Structure formats: structure tokens, C-alpha cells
Amino acid sequence: MARHDAVAWSYARAADARGVEIHQQTEVTGFLRGPDGSVTGVSTNRGAIRARKVALATAGNTSHVAALAGLKLPLVTRNLQAFVSEPIKPVIDVIANFPDIGLYVMQSDKGELVIGGGADPLPSYRQGCHFQTFEDTVAALLEIFPRFKSLKLLRQWGGAVEFAYDASPIISPTPLGGLYVSTGWYGGFKAIPVGGLTYAHLLATDVPHPLAEAFLLERFHGLRLLLEAGTVAQR
């Protein structure tokens, strides 16, 4: 089990050590365009930033950010929530995943059970609890582990996750010259190391990485979708 915040800040420190500028509290408000309509940078609440290439990696807000450039992407955004119980003695030393009933559970170093399930059934940017999803997840937990019925939950949270229409990622140039996108990473915390590698390859060479050739935007023209059972089952 890896701590998400620690991993994110490790990436940030490594990027900073290699000369990457990281601007916090800087909101993108629009895109700069050249005479031919290509993207030449971004405008922000702190001024303009010009660039030969602009890469979108904006997680649950990709649809909104892309719309600032007049670009509509084949995405659906839903809320994904998780729950944490009170600490108990060690009882689970693996991640127990039951996709058929919409449940995963693991135990943190502090003894808390981390519990989650599928995304909310309807498109949403909410970050609160969708009670039906909460109830279904807890019912699945008690079906597998009846002894946990006496546990108290300490906190709950949710966040926006993006699904492409075929539930597989998108790593691609866009129809707008100079603008690229990486999105659709449902469950991306575990997949994003290779996602970052293949995206960097595309940005540096303008050629899709061999591992990511199937994940271009053009697959949605003519319905050449990636129908992988392990992902579309989550739709």
C-alpha cells in the first residue's frame, strides 16, 4: 500500500530537481492561439505562459479545461468515493478486491480499514456521499466480512474520475495543433507511471509510444473502441 500524497510529492520533488517549474495556485483561464488556430500557450490568473506544446493532464477537470480551447472530448465524469473505519488490530495484509459485487478493502498502517467500490451510477462532479453507492458498498463488505458489522466509519471522501467512452485511457495529440491530452485514467494511480512514460514519449517525439498506439483519440472515429472486459465492466 502506497500513500498517494507521498507518491505525488515524490514526483514533484524529482521534477523540481530536474528544472521543472511548478506554479501552485495558478489557474488556467484560457489558451493562447496562433494565426492558424494552433495552441501556443495558456493564459492564467497570474499571466500568460507561451509554449510550443501544451500537455493536458488535469484529472477530473479535463473536460472543462479542454472546453476552454473549444475542444470536446469523449469523456464522462463520475464521483468515486471511499470510506475509512476506526482503527482495529491487524486483520488484512493484502488488498481484497471483489469486482463482481463492487468492493475493495485494505488495512492501513494505522489499522484503519480503507473501503471502496464502484463509481456513482450517474455523471457527477460531487465530492460528497452518494447514499446508494455507499449502501451498496457497505452491504458488499458485510456479505464478505460479516464480523465488520460492528465497525464505526470515521470519514468519507469522493473525487471526480473520468471515463472515456470505452473506459480505456486516452494518450493523444488533439485536433488542435500544439495541444496534447492524457486522460481517462480510472484507477490511474497504479497505471500512471507507464502512462507518464508514454505521454512524455509522445510529447518529445510526436510519435505514439509502442505501448500506447491504441490509445489515440482517432479510435473514436468509426467506433474503433478498445473493448477490454476488465475496464468496460466498470462502465
User: Position of cell 446508494?
Assistant: 132
User: Is residue 73 pLDDT above 70, yes or no?
Assistant: yes
| pTM passes above 0.85 | yes
Does 210 or 231 have the greater pLDDT score? 210
> pLDDT-derived band of residue 151, with 50, 70 and 90 as boundaries?
very high
pLDDT in tens, 17-72: 999 999 999 999 999 999 999 999 999 999 999 999 999 999 889 999 999 999 99
Q: Given this model, what pLDDT does residue 67 score?
A: 96
Q: Given this model, what pLDDT does residue 192 score?
A: 84
Distance of CA 68 to the CA centre of its chain: 20
CATH number belonging to the domain at 18-74+165-232, selected among 3.50.50.60, 1.10.10.60, 1.20.210.10, 2.102.10.10: 3.50.50.60
CATH topology of domain 76-163: D-Amino Acid Oxidase; Chain A, domain 2 (3.30.9)
Q: Smallest Cα–Cα separation from 186: which of 83, 115, 116, 109?
A: 116
Domains 18-74+165-232 and 76-163 share a fold: no
Q: List beta partners, residue 79.
A: 160
How does 71-91 read in b/e, with b if 16+ C-beta sit within 10 Å?
A: bebbbbbbbbbebbbeeeeee
Alpha-carbon distance of 47 to 1, in angstroms, equals 40
Ordered by start, the domain boundaries in the chain are: 18-74+165-232, 76-163
- Cβ atoms of 90 and 78 closer than 8 Å: no
- Cβ atoms of 39 and 179 closer than 8 Å: yes
